[in-house]
Amino acid sequence: MIRNIIGSILLLLTSLSCLAGCAVNTHYWVIKDENSTAGKSQFSMLMAAYAAGKTVRIIGNNTCTRWADGEDILEVYLK
């Protein structure tokens, strides 16, 4: 379940697994570019899930482009 959304940073209540090496000591993913079409779609899906109290599944991109310790989001799935 999504705990909080701050700008493009997504904080999660669930435990994380299979994080990129650059993000092993963190508990969040980052939208790489919220101004891109993919980023806008991801942000919209996450806000809808947050508003509805729904769980999401996030697949990371195995990179930490925007923040050195926050893995970039590749895909978002609503559950």
**What type of residue sits at position 76?**
V
User: What does the pLDDT read at residue 14?
Assistant: 57
How many domains does the chain divide into?
Answer: 1
Alpha-carbon distance of 37 to 75, in angstroms, equals 13
Domain carrying residue 54: 2-78
Q: Is residue 5's pLDDT more than 70?
A: no
Model confidence over 21-40: pLDDT tens digits? 888 777 788 898 888 999 99
What average pLDDT does range 54-79 have in this prediction? 87
Beta bridge partners of 56: 78
DSSP code of 68? Answer: T
pTM of the full structure: 0.76
Distance from chain centroid for Cα 19: 11
Alpha-carbon distance of 8 to 21, in angstroms, equals 20
Lowest mean pLDDT among 14-18, 20-24, 31-35, 42-46: 14-18
